[in-house]
Amino acid sequence: MAESNPMLSLDALTFQNAQAALEQGCAALGAGETVFDLGGVRAADSSALALMLAWQRRAQTHGRKLSFINVPANVDALARLYGVDGLIGRA
């Protein structure tokens, strides 16, 4: 099992905290993290998908593959609904 990402500690992935979450995720990627554990996320909306895709793009620009673990069920459901479940990369 992959280890939790100590650089990414978010309890929400919503429109209200999207900018801060984006910055925190980019900082974690910059520090070399390649697995984001979303197990602590208690609130998420469609912004979560936008963030996950943005982090994926950032990882790809640095030649890395990013994986997500413990993705909240509602985010998984949204990803399937929008047809992007294959793009977010789950471990």
Which residue range is the domain that position 53 belongs to?
Answer: 12-82
Q: What is the dihedral of CA 79, 44, 11, 32, to 10 degrees?
A: 30
User: With left for phi above 0 and alpha for psi between -120 and 50, is residue 36 left, alpha or beta?
Assistant: beta
For each of the chain's 91 residues, which pLDDT tens digit applies?
444 445 677 899 999 999 999 999 999 999 999 999 999 999 999 999 999 999 999 999 989 999 999 999 999 999 999 998 888 876 5
Residue 91 placed within a domain:
no
Strands 43-44 and 12-13 come out as parallel
Residue 42 placed within a domain:
yes
The whole model's pTM is what? Answer: 0.85
Classify 77 as helix, strand or coil. helix
Q: How far apart are CA 44 and CA 27, in angstroms?
A: 20
* One-letter amino acid for residue 35 of the chain: V
Residue 74 placed within a domain:
yes
